Structure formats: structure tokens, C-alpha cells
Amino acid sequence: MTIIDQEEFVPKDTFDAGGFSSPFEKRSKWSKLRRIPLYLTTIIMVAPYYWMITSSFKSVQELQKVPPTVVPNKWLLVNYFNTNFGNVNNNSTDPSNQRGLFQRFEEVQFGFFHYVLNSLFIVVTITVATMLISSLAAYVVSKHRMKGKRLIYLTIIGSMMVPWQVGIIPNFLTMSNLNWLDTYWAYIIPALPKAFIVFFLVQYLSSIPDELVESARIDRASEFTIWWRIILPLLKPAMIAMMIFASIGEWNNFLWPMIIANSPEMWNLPVALSMLRNNGAGNIGMQGIIMGASLLASIPTVLLFLVAQKHFIRGIALSGIK
Amino acid sequence: MLAPFVLLFVAFSIYPIFASFRLSFMRYNAICDEELSPCGSVRFGNYYRLFFEDDRFHKALLNTSYYVVGAVSLTIIASLMLAIALQADTKSNRILRVVFFLPSVTSSIATVLVWGWVFRGDGVGLLNGVLAAMGISPVEWLATPALAVPILVLMSVWGGAGYGMILFLAGINSIPTYYYEAAMIDGANPRQRFRYITLPLLKPVMTYVGITSIIGAFQIFEGVYLLFPTSVGSVGGLQDMALMLVPYLYDQGFIHFRLGYASAIAWVLFGIIFIISLINLKLSKSFEDLR
């Protein structure tokens, strides 16, 4: 695991700004003990994940144990797929006689995976489309002389101050008027204009010399060619950072999908998860299934982060320093 | 070329701001039937009711204030401490940074659901299980009004500390090392170096982390919605113990369909965030002038 690539902004000799240790001062045995609170905190950080993973593999009987078991006695897949469900000899009052996660959501095709596909489709579409229109806009704002450009840019920056919930009701009414409620349009179209991405890309473009664009114009390259051939390749690191940003945000989006998606076919993963929870709130047996669903819903974004953490972290760090 | 973005931006980001401002002075419910449920201007009626008559809103405002103060201050402290503790670029630190950052990329619904089980009221909950092992009887965590906001604060610090840590790390790493070298030659001890070099130079990052986490904290929704449901299909939990602004907005707008009233709540939320951001910016500016 290579976490958080620091080559760009860290001095090579690891220097401790907190001053807890330095090459010039004697390291005492206390310096090791000092890290004990850190390790305790780490346990608290990891505990929910550990719990989520292990409980999804426990049997219903084991889930009901007081106090709960730390390590599953037996790693089982019943919460995902219960082969015994519907068995004639099964006692119907037996709490373990319930559907596994993949045997639920029968009202939609592919069951649980319908929501995985829904989420994937929505996230990919939004991310690709928003990056295209944002980079176009950033290119114009950054490299064109145009009347009113400054006003547009200031409006974009100013809009970042407004919490998105302010617009939630008019946007809902717009969706309703367009008859877009319960369609993918309502997921995708309002999610496309992302002020922060344009702002970030404009910032990034400002460090790229105008001459590059000017010389292309002298060579009679069309504006779209300049954008596609020159600007996009130069923007690649910033684009990747923002793509990860946008896709993780959309994957985890909950409030807006809950408002616009009424029929089970249109739910995304978080909404489907919350529905599982609403149906099985008090039922301990359901918890293993809910944990399994939570685990599956978390894996894609965590993987994406682990694979692309270098770009992601740089994006966050840049947004904070500027 | 600017057109696709600008059109969408105006339609779904700018127009809604003005539209919800207009709605906030109206009685509006999307049906707008003359006899059944008329729509129309109520002037400042919505705001009057919010500030002077609506006890649920007062409760939501109070809870949100507690929550924001607790979550933001603790998150900043925790992330600064983490950034300092994990500053050295060693292998174990790199792994720990990943661990602390994971909640920022995990589905908030998933983490809320796990926390819901940690805080389950019966003996099966994780925390009550730990208590049981120590011989203490189970606590009804999520049904104790005094614990509602602290639990949400804890979840927020758990989820947000890693994000702030990354920002602080970037800030710390951009401080030139010769400041520290000079200070050490002058005989400054680690605490002094932190107090007089690291902390002042981190002020811009601090302001940024402060503003973003305040804005984020005011928008809390998932934790309240999933952990504190009420039997009547509303949100907020027992005696509205965990009711906050955005969940109340959702409750009024999308459960009761009082869209005008909910717009007024949205504008109050916006107003608060706007004022706090301004104060924060002003304060950090005046601090800079002082030095």
C-alpha cells in the first residue's frame, strides 16, 4: 500500500513539524509509548469495519448471542444466499429461515444487483458528462477573452457558498413539471453542473501558459480541437482527481435519490440499503444481511480510493491550500 | 462551448436559489387547489412561524447548534492531532493515514447502519456487549435524549477526522523546514516550535477546514434519518431529540409537502451558513492583520 504520495510536497528528510522527534534530539523510550493513544484510536476507527465484515458472515443464532462474539464461530454465507430457505422441512418460526441478501428485492430484475447496476450507470454517466462540460467551461473561462466572463466565474464561485439543500425544493418541482420524477433524468441532469469542479479546473489551468493555446490558434486549430488535443491532456491530473471526487460523492448520494425515486426499479444502492433497514429495523436476524449489503456498497468506493489515492489526496490537498 | 455548463448551471443551481427564496414567502404544496389547499403569498408568515411559533424548529435549531459546535471543534482538534502524529513519512504512518481516511470514502448509509448496530439498545449491540462483559447492564443509547447529539457528534468526528487530517498534512508539509531549523538553533523546544511556527502558519488551512466542516455539519441528514426514526414516519427520534435542520426540511417538505415552509427552512440554513462563513473569514483576516 502506498498511501498518500508525498514526494511533491514533503522534504526528503522526514521532519516532524509537531516537534515530537527530530534528528537533533535524543529519542527516548517515551516516544514509542506516546503512540499508544494513536493505536487505541486506530482500533476505534477500524472497529465498525471489522464489525460490518464479520457480522455479515455470522449465522442468525450467533448474531443473537449476548455478549456478541468477536470472531465468528463459523464463517457462513447464509446472509448473502440462504440455500435452506424455502425448504419444506424447515420450521417457519425458525429465525434463520429467511432470505439471503441476493434472494431479496424480488420485485426487480437481478434483485440486489439491480441496485449495483443502477448506481454504476448513474455514477459513470454523471461523472463522464460533468467532466466534459466542466472542462469545456473551464477552458473558456480561463483562456478566452469574452464579455461577462468574470461575472460568470464570480457567480460560479459564489454559488459554492450556497448549501445545495436550498435548491432542493425548486429542483424537485422542476423534475415534477418535466415528468422526470422516477427516471434516470432526475438523477443525472441536475447533478451535472458542479461549480467546484469548474473552479478547480480553472485554478489548474491558470498555471498553464496562454501561449500554448495562442500558438494552436495561429495554426488554425478549431476551438474543439484545442480543447480535446491540448487542454484535456494537460488537465489530466486535475480531471482524474475531480472524477474520483464526483464519482464517490454520487455513489454515496442519498437524500436526492430518496426524494425523486419512488419505484423500486429506480432506487440507487444507498436508498435500497435504507429500505432494507426500514423493513428489518428491530429484527436481529436482518442485521447480518444489512451488514452484508453495507459491505458490498462500500467496497467499490474504497477500492477506487485505494487504487487512485495519489490523485485523490493531491486533489484534496490542492483544494485546501489554494 | 460555455453554453452546456452555463445552461445547466442556471437551470439547476442559480434559478433554484431564487425560486426557493420566492417560495419561502408562500404557502405552497404542489396541489394548489383553490378550495382544498390554496397556494399564495403569506409575506413573512413562514419566517414568523419558524422563529416565534414552531417548537420543533427551535428544537432542530438548538440540536443543530450543539451538534455543529461539538462536531466541528472536535473534528478540527482530532484531525490536527492526527496530522501531527502521522506527519513523518514512514510505512506504518502511510497505512494509518489510509485507515483514518477510509470513512470519508465509505457510503455514509453503510457507516450509519453499522453505528446503528454499535449503539443498539438491547444486549446484542456492540457497545452494550462490551458493557455486559464488564458486568454493566445495557444502555438504551438511541432512546436517551441526552445522548442523541453526542452520538451523532462521535460519528461525525469518526467520519471526518481523516479528511481534515489530509488538509492539515498538506499544510504542515508546505511549511519550509528552515523555520524549524532556525528555531532549533535558537533553542526552541518542540512545544514552542509547534506553538510559534506550525500553528500560526496553519491558519489558512484551519480557516478552510473550519468553514468546510461547518458547512458540512449543518447539512447532517443520514445519521438522523436512519438512527432516529419515529413511529409516525417522521424524523427526529423520541421527543425530537435528534431533530436537525435538514431532516426537518425533509420532514416538512417531503413528508408533509409544505414546500413553501420547507423553503423558508432552507433559507434560514443558508443564512446561518453564510453569516458563519463571513465571520470566519473576517476573523481569520483580522488575525492576520494583528500579526
CB contact under 8 A, A321 and B101: no
pLDDT, residue A7, reads 41
The residue ranking higher by pLDDT, B162 or B239, is: B162
**Taking 80 as the threshold, does the pLDDT of residue B7 lie above it?**
yes
Q: How many domains does chain A have?
A: 1
Say what the pLDDT of residue A220 is. 85
Is A174 in Cβ contact with B84 (below 8 Å)? no
Q: Would you call B110 and A52 a contact, using CB atoms and an 8 Å cutoff?
A: yes
Q: How many residues in chain B?
A: 291
B235: β partners? B229
Average pLDDT in chain B: 88
Cα–Cα dist A108/A264, whole Å? 7
Contact between residue B167 and residue A316 where contact means Cβ atoms under 8 Å apart: yes
Digit-coded pLDDT (tens) for A258-271 = 999 999 999 999 99
The answer, yes or no, to whether residue B240 has pLDDT greater than 80, is yes
Average pLDDT on A65-92 reads 77
C-beta separation of A165 from A284 below 8 A:
no
Residue appearing with cell numbers 451488514: A291
Q: Which residue's C-alpha cell is 438512527? A: B227
How far does the CA of residue B140 sit from the closest CA of chain A (Å)?
14
Of A10, A141, A193, the CB nearest to B173: A10
Interface contact A66, partner B, CB < 8 A: yes
The alpha carbon dihedral of A83, A85, A88, A89 has a sign of positive
> Which residues in chain A are closer than 8 Å to B208, comparing Cβ atoms?
320
Give the pLDDT confidence of A160-198 residue by residue, as tens digits: 888 899 999 999 999 999 999 999 999 999 999 999 999
Instruction: Name the minimum distance, in Å, from the CA of A107 to any CA of chain B.
Output: 22
Report whether pLDDT(B116) > 60: yes
Mean pLDDT lowest among A25-34, A130-139, B249-258: A25-34
Of the pLDDT bands very low, low, confident and very high (cuts 50, 70, 90), residue A320 is: low
- Cell numbers for A266, please give them: 429506480
pLDDT band at B290 (very low <50, low <70, confident <90, very high): low
Cα→Cα distances B32→B35, B38, B43, B190, Å: 9, 5, 17, 67
Confidence of residue B271 (pLDDT cuts 50, 70, 90): very high
Mean of pLDDT over chain A = 83
Interface membership of A86 toward B (CB under 8 Å): no
Binned at pLDDT 50, 70 and 90, residue A147 comes out as confident
Residue A309: closest C-alpha in chain B: B98
For residue A27, being part of any structural domain is answered with no
With CA atoms as reference, the chain A residue closest to B21 would be: A166
Query: Which tens digit of pLDDT belongs to each residue from B156-170?
Result: 999 999 999 999 998
In a domain, A55, yes or no: no
A158 and chain B in contact, CB less than 8 A: no
What's the CATH number where A239 sits? 1.10.3720.10
* CB < 8 Å to B116, chain A: 277
Please indicate, yes or no, if residue A180 is contained in any of the structural domains.
Answer: yes
Is A274 part of any domain? yes
Closest residue to B129, CB basis, from A22, A67, A301 = A67
Query: Which of A41, A61, A169 is the best residue to mutate to test the B interface, defined by the most B CB atoms within 10 Å of its own CB?
Result: A169
Mean pLDDT for B102-108 is 91
∠ CA A39-A45-A47, nearest 5°, is: 100
pLDDT in tens, A246-257: 999 999 999 999
| Cross-chain residue pair A297–B170, CB shorter than 8 Å | no
Q: Which CATH class is domain B22-290?
A: mainly alpha
Lowest mean pLDDT among A97-111, B179-193, B235-249, B269-283: A97-111
Identify the band that residue A27 occupies on the pLDDT scale cut at 50, 70 and 90.
low
* pLDDT over 50 at B13, yes or no: yes
- Quickly tell me which residue has 532556525 as its cell: B182
Please tell me the total number of residues recorded for chain A in this structure.
Answer: 322
Domain carrying residue A221: 112-321
Q: Is residue A278 over pLDDT 50?
A: yes
Q: How far is residue B266's CA from residue B118's CA, in Å, rounded to a whole number? A: 32
Q: Best mutation site among B23, B80, B109 for testing chain A: the one with the most A CBs within 10 Å? A: B109
Residue ranges of domains in chain B: 22-290
Q: Outline where DSSP puts E strands in B37-182.
A: 40-41
Closest CA to B88 of A33, A318, A42, A35: A35
Higher pLDDT, B267 or A161: B267
